[in-house]
């Protein structure tokens, strides 16, 4: 649903901007053409009047009253108009007197009327185009919506089918643990089952579900998720340096768990044995740091990207974290300096 709305918004925004640019160019060229036509018409009128045999100099004020011209005879002003913009001088001799006519292309009322018409036209055109664009976008998005639905159904079916054998494996592992069975092969099976469960959780999160926002205590959930990973932490003899405070956050519970799980999983997976993982939580950010190195930070949040393929997984962990952060407008910062990796999520 969110992806559909986002695609629809981008399509309408691009279409709207393109339409504004097109109308702007059209208005500019149209006004320039109108101005040229007005100037041309003015020149023709003045030329016709000047060449008229019936024109007498003592009646020029009357003859040129409808034109924006100034008439001079020597230092005498016979008719005065505002002389702005591009002006044209006409010299004329009548009897013993020389006359100068200055004609300027100023027709503000006519240009104003044209602009008013263009504004009304642009408003109607934009409304009409937006309506058409909306229905076109819905039409184009319909096949994408269908494919998203098919993908969601596929992921739901796959995760449902995988969930049953994983549950059976985990239940048998618990039975063996109750019998205090300890050998390398058993630990490998247990770690593999845990990793498979983690991959299944990532796949389940890719489903396009509706989010349910609620106010959650991040500290409580963080502690529970640390206990969930305790076996993996103990297997590598890792130490935890916790600096966590009570923090309430309005977020979808599954999204919060997914953020915490992926940060913890990555820290455990890539930390050397006998090292320390630092976890800081306060009302501003959540930060998880561990010993290690990221070679290509620019690619680390890309889908299916893995720096160490021997560690398994699909490379979806930080990709999912980034998507969740983008949805809630959280700031995701990943740094790798002096053989130490830090992933920090700022809430505000």
* Per-residue pLDDT, 57: 47
pLDDT range class, residue 223, cuts 50, 70, 90 = very high
Phi-psi region of 290 (alpha: psi -120 to 50; beta: other; left: phi over 0): beta
pLDDT range class, residue 202, cuts 50, 70, 90 = low
* Per-residue pLDDT, 288: 92
pLDDT in tens, 115-152: 888 888 888 888 888 788 777 777 777 777 777 677 77
Q: Where are the domains of the chain?
A: 2-125, 212-348
Give the percent of the chain with pLDDT over 90.
14
* Per-residue pLDDT, 243: 92
pLDDT in tens, 255-311: 898 899 889 988 888 888 999 999 999 989 999 999 888 877 777 777 666 666 555
Angle between helices 317-328 and 184-205 (to 10 degrees): 30
- Model confidence pTM above 0.95: no
* Per-residue pLDDT, 315: 66
- The count of other CB atoms within 10 Å of the CB of residue 271 is 20
> Which of 56-60, 167-171, 301-305 shows the lowest mean pLDDT across its residues?
56-60
Average pLDDT over residues 80-90: 61
On whether the CB atoms of residues 212 and 252 are closer than 8 A, the answer is yes
Q: Pick the residue with more confidence: 222 or 154? A: 222
Our CA dihedral for 148, 149, 153, 156, rounded to 10 degrees, sits at 60
On whether the CB atoms of residues 31 and 115 are closer than 8 A, the answer is yes
CATH class of 212-348: alpha beta
* Per-residue pLDDT, 86: 56
Token pair of 307 as six digits: 């720096």
Q: Which residues pair with 250 in a beta bridge?
A: 215
Output the average pLDDT for the chain: 76
């Amino acid at each position: 649903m969110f992806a559909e709305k986002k695609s629809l918004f981008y399509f309408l925004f691009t279409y709207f901007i393109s339409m504004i640019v097109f109308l702007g160019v059209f208005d500019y060229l149209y006004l320039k053409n109108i101005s040229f036509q007005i100037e041309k018409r003015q020149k023709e009128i003045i030329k016709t009047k000047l060449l008229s045999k019936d024109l007498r100099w003592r009646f020029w004020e009357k003859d040129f009253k409808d034109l924006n011209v100034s008439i001079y005879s020597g230092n005498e002003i016979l008719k005065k108009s505002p002389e702005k913009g591009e002006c044209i001088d006409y010299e004329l001799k009548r009897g013993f007197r020389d006359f100068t006519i200055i004609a300027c292309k100023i027709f503000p009322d006519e240009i104003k009327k044209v602009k008013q018409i263009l504004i009304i036209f642009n408003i109607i055109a934009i409304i009409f185009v937006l309506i058409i664009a909306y229905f076109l976008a819905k039409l184009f998005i319909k096949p994408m919506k269908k494919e998203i639905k098919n993908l969601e159904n596929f992921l739901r079916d796959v995760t449902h089918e995988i969930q049953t054998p994983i549950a059976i494996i985990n239940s048998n592992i618990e039975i063996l643990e109750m019998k205090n069975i300890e050998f390398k092969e058993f630990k490998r099976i247990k770690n593999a089952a845990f990793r498979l469960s983690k991959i299944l959780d990532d796949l389940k999160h890719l489903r396009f579900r509706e989010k349910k926002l609620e106010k959650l205590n991040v500290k409580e959930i963080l502690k529970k998720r640390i206990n969930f990973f305790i076996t993996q932490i103990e297997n590598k003899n890792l130490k935890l340096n916790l600096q966590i405070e009570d923090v309430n956050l309005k977020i979808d519970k599954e999204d919060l768990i997914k953020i915490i799980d992926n940060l913890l999983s990555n820290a455990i997976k890539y930390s050397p044995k006998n090292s320390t993982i630092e976890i800081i939580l306060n009302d501003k950010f959540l930060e998880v740091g561990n010993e290690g190195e990221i070679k290509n930070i620019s690619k680390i949040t890309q889908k299916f990207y893995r720096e160490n393929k021997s560690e398994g997984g699909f490379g979806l962990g930080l990709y999912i974290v980034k998507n969740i952060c983008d949805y809630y407008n959280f700031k995701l910062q990943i740094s790798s300096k002096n053989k130490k990796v830090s992933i920090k999520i700022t809430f505000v």
